[in-house]
Amino acid sequence: MGKIYRIKCERCGAEFEHSVGVGFAYACVGCGEVVDDYAPFWCPCCNKRFDPTAEEFSDQLITVMLWD
């Protein structure tokens, strides 16, 4: 089970997807990072840091999808 975030970077305008696992180690297909629900990650174009626990994170989300 996990989540896929579709994000628009406020710095460079790139749109990308980032996936995280829930309850176990999971590597994102897009960036290869092993992440959990609270780990920071970076924009693949400009390397802007995204922190899912920050308040402004939700402003940059386009969609959030859950998968089993």
Residues in contact with 37: Cβ distance below 8 Å, sequence separation at least 6, in sequence order: 3, 20, 22, 52
Q: What is the pLDDT of residues 39-60, one digit of tens each?
A: 788 898 999 999 988 888 889 9
How many other CB atoms are there within 10 angstroms of residue 67's CB atom?
A: 10
Q: Which residues of 22-31 are buried (b: 16+ CB within 10 A; e: fewer)?
A: eeeebebeee
Q: State the Cα–Cα distance between residues 4 and 18, nearest whole angstrom.
A: 6
Which pTM does this prediction carry?
A: 0.76
More confident residue, 12 or 1: 12
Q: State the Cα–Cα distance between residues 5 and 61, nearest whole angstrom.
A: 7
Q: What is the pLDDT of residue 68?
A: 67
